[in-house]
Amino acid sequence: MTAEPSPAVAGRQREAPAAAYACARPDFVPTINGIALAEAPAFKKPPGGAPANVVVGIARLGGSSAFIGKVGEDEFGYMFADILKQNNVNNEGMRFDPGARTALAFVTLKKNGQHKFMFYRNPSADMLLQESELDLDLIKKAKIFHYGSISLITEPCKSAHIASTKVAKDAGVLLSYDPNLRLPLWPSGESAREGILSIWDTTDIIKISEEEIEFLTKGEDPYDDNVVRKLYHKNLKLLPVTEGPDGCRYYTKEFSGKVKGLKVDPMDTTGAGDAFVAGVLSKLAEDLSLLQDEKRLREALSFANACGAITVTERGAIPALPTREAVMDALLKTVA
């Protein structure tokens, strides 16, 4: 199931050290990899949606989190609310629209587990979240507020997104952004680039992929540090670049480097980046000072890499998100 055009919250109090604004939806994932969507004999329907994955990931890792967003007043919407609750995510910020359906996404999986999405949202409930429906107290309680770019595509959720980040910023909450490029949802490539960059300079942490660097810089080399530094704005505290099985690079004002990933046999890469973000934010929610300590930051990023690696070994995003114990076991095995 998917929830995306809404943010997520990680919080200052136990209720929500992390919060997210995002859409929530079911992801229909084929039971067999490497075939066309129309040829799939059956589908699983694990819940998903990038910021929703992040808040569940944080909760699985032992943190506290909350979700803010909108679903349809339908079976998928109530299913999603129940799944958040079962995973110890505060879902008080969810709203139910009686006139629009919960978003759906169908996922095509290649043999190597890489994915492609086909979305059903014309419009879906997540696109209709209004500023007046935001749970501002949840946002203000958070230590970290996480969101993507899909909620910037249409109104009224675009205005709700911008308003929620302003409330968070004014309350001293750390802002975390994963552009999570989904080109088919935007009117054009240029509108996607413009929309993603429209909130770039307001954010404290931005997680980005090689593909997104290439897109945002109009084809420049995503492996060139000078190219990546063009995307680094003066108020940014951390810019991690995920590289799949190769781990990640990281950039701060003071230092930069690379942290290797874990090698696994991938089944489905859906949610790997969200698991990585959950790993990073869960560590930051515990102690923001690690942003100034390169050794501890590298440890946190190694933890996040393991979160992403474990997630790709199962189908679907939320069902595959790891516990803290599973991540620590995986890291110990790499040392042994």
Output the tens digit of pLDDT for each of the chain's 336 residues. 444 545 565 644 445 577 776 666 777 877 888 888 788 888 877 777 889 999 999 999 999 999 999 999 999 999 999 999 999 999 999 999 999 999 888 877 666 656 677 788 888 999 999 999 999 999 999 999 999 999 999 999 999 999 999 999 999 999 999 999 999 899 999 999 999 999 999 999 999 999 999 999 999 999 999 999 999 999 999 999 999 999 999 999 999 999 999 989 988 888 899 999 999 999 999 999 999 999 999 999 999 999 999 999 988 788 899 999 999 999 998 865
Burial profile 267-303: b = 16 or more Cβ within 10 angstroms, e = fewer = bbbbbbbbbbbbbbbbbbbeeeebbeeeeebbebbbb
What is the rounded distance in angstroms from the CA atom of residue 65 to the CA atom of residue 84? 10
* Phi and psi angles of residue 181, each rounded to the nearest 5 degrees, phi first: -60, 120
pTM: 0.90
Specify the DSSP element, H or E, that contains 311: helix 294-311
Contact 322, 307 (CB under 8 A): yes
Contact 228, 222 (CB under 8 A): yes
What is the rounded distance in angstroms from the CA atom of residue 80 to the CA atom of residue 322? 19
What is the rounded distance in angstroms from the CA atom of residue 185 to the CA atom of residue 25? 15
Per-residue pLDDT tens over the stretch 110-128: 666 566 777 888 889 999 9
Residue 130 CB burial class (10 angstroms; 0-12, 13-18, ≥19): middle
* Helix residue ranges per DSSP H, 20-130: 50-60, 75-86
